[in-house]
C-alpha cells in the first residue's frame, strides 16, 4: 500500500513537470496543458476523468507548481495562454563556459546582425531560467569582455547608471531615468520608463554605449507621452536612473517594423545595391534606365533615414507612410537651413561673414 502511495506521489510530480515543460515552450491553453500531461504520462495520468473534474485536477497541479515548485505559472490574457511569469526555483543551470558564451553573444551580436531578434529572444529565455547569481555571472563576464576588447566610450557614464542597469538586467526589472536628447531644443531632460531586455552594447560605428529598451512612456514639460516602442538610449545621456519594482513580462514585445521603399539613380545603382544597417531589403527591381527600386523594412525610421541620406540626391524615398513623412520633414528642415546662403542657421551665418 505504501508503495502505491509513493508511486502516486511521483506521478503528481511528473504531471507538474510536464506542465512546466509545456509552458517553457510558449503560451498554452488549458487543454494544451492537459494534452501535454497525457502525452507524457498516458491516458490514466488524471484517472481517466473528463470535463470539469479533469479541469479541477489540472488547477490543483497548477497550485502545486506555484506553491511547492515556486514557479509563477498563471494565465496571461495578452499572451492568450498560461505562461511562466517568474520563477523562484531556477529551472536551468549552465557551466561557466556557457555563461561566458552568452555574454559574448550579447556583447557582439548587434542589431544589424542576421536574426538579431530571434538570437536575443533565445538568450533572454536562457537568462530567465537561471538564478540571480548565475545571471550576475553573465554580467561580470560581459564587463570583463568589454575591457578585454578595449572598447571605450568617450562619454562620461555615471556609475549609478551602469550599476543600476546591471541590477535591473539581473533581476529582470523595469527602470526609469532622465534622458537628454538633442531632438529637444529646450535642452531639458525627459523622464523615460523603460523595460531593458538586452544589456548595453558598444556601437563601433557611433563609438558609444547604447541601451535598447522598450519605452512605455515619457514625461516632459508637456506632460506624459505614451510611447510603446523600442528605443536606443546613449548611456552618456542618462542620469538619475532608478530600478522600479515592476518585473519584466516573460516575453519581450515584438519589434515594430516599418515599410521602406526607395529608388536609386543609375549612377549609384550600376555597381550593385548596398545593404544598410537597420534596413532589411526584401526585394529589388532594376528598371530599363538603370535605376533600382528597393523594398524593405526597418525597426528604426531614424537610422534608416541616416543610412539613405548618404546617397544625397541619388536616392528618393517613396514609402512607407512613416518613412516618407519623416524624410520629407528632414529634407524641408535642411532646405530651410541652407536657404539664403545658410543664414537660417546662426552658426552658418557667422561662418559666412
Q: Domain ranges in the chain?
A: 2-87, 96-247, 258-338
What is the chain's Cα-based Rg? 26
Confidence of residue 108 (pLDDT cuts 50, 70, 90): confident
Rounded to the nearest 10°, the torsion over CA 318, 321, 323, 328 is 70
Confidence of residue 253 (pLDDT cuts 50, 70, 90): confident
What is the DSSP code (8-state) at residue 312?
A: G
More confident site: 2 or 220: 220
Gap between the Cα atoms of 247 and 84, Å rounded = 12
- Residue 196 phi/psi, 5-degree rounding, is -90, 95
C-alpha cell read off for 189: 531632460
User: What does the pLDDT read at residue 19?
Assistant: 97
Confidence of residue 149 (pLDDT cuts 50, 70, 90): low
pLDDT, average across residues 278-297: 91
- Judged by DSSP in three states, 190 sits in strand
**What HEC string does 40-68 produce?**
HHCCCCCCCCCHHHHHHHHHHHHHHHHHC
- pTM of this prediction exceeds 0.75: no
Class of domain 258-338: alpha beta
Amino acid at each position: 500500500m505504501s508503495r502505491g502511495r509513493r508511486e502516486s506521489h511521483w506521478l503528481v510530480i511528473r504531471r507538474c513537470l510536464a506542465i512546466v515543460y509545456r509552458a517553457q515552450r510558449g503560451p498554452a491553453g488549458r487543454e494544451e496543458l492537459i494534452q501535454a500531461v497525457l502525452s507524457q504520462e498516458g491516458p490514466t495520468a488524471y484517472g481517466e476523468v473528463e470535463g470539469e473534474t479533469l479541469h479541477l485536477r489540472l488547477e490543483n497541479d497548477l497550485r502545486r507548481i506555484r506553491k511547492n515548485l515556486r514557479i509563477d505559472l498563471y494565465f496571461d490574457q495578452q499572451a492568450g495562454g498560461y505562461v511562466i511569469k517568474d520563477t523562484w526555483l531556477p529551472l536551468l543551470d549552465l557551466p561557466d563556459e556557457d555563461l561566458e558564451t552568452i555574454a559574448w553573444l550579447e556583447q557582439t551580436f548587434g542589431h544589424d546582425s542576421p536574426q538579431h531578434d530571434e538570437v536575443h529572444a533565445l538568450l533572454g529565455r536562457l537568462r530567465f531560467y537561471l538564478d540571480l547569481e548565475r545571471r550576475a555571472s553573465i554580467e561580470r563576464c560581459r564587463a570583463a569582455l568589454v575591457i578585454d576588447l578595449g572598447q571605450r566610450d568617450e562619454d562620461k557614464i555615471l556609475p549609478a547608471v551602469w550599476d543600476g542597469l546591471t541590477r535591473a538586467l539581473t533581476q529582470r526589472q523595469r527602470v526609469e531615468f532622465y534622458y537628454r536628447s538633442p531632438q529637444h531644443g529646450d535642452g531639458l531632460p525627459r523622464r523615460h520608463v523603460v523595460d531593458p531586455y538586452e544589456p548595453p552594447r558598444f556601437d563601433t560605428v557611433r563609438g558609444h554605449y547604447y541601451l535598447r529598451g522598450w519605452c512605455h512612456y515619457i514625461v516632459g514639460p508637456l506632460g506624459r507621452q505614451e510611447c510603446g516602442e523600442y528605443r536606443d538610449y546613449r548611456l552618456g545621456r542618462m542620469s538619475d536612473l532608478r530600478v522600479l519594482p515592476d518585473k519584466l513580462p516573460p516575453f519581450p514585445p515584438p519589434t515594430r517594423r516599418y515599410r521602406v521603399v526607395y529608388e536609386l539613380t543609375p549612377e549609384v545603382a550600376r555597381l550593385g545595391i548596398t545593404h544598410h544597417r537597420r534596413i532589411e531589403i526584401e526585394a529589388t527591381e532594376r528598371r530599363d534606365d538603370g535605376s533600382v527600386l528597393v523594398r524593405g523594412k526597418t525597426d528604426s525610421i531614424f537610422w534608416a533615414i541616416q543610412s539613405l541620406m548618404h546617397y544625397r540626391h541619388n536616392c528618393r524615398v517613396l514609402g512607407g507612410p512613416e518613412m516618407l513623412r519623416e524624410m520629407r520633414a528632414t529634407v524641408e528642415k535642411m532646405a530651410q537651413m541652407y536657404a539664403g546662403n545658410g543664414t537660417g542657421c546662426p552658426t552658418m551665418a557667422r561662418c559666412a561673414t
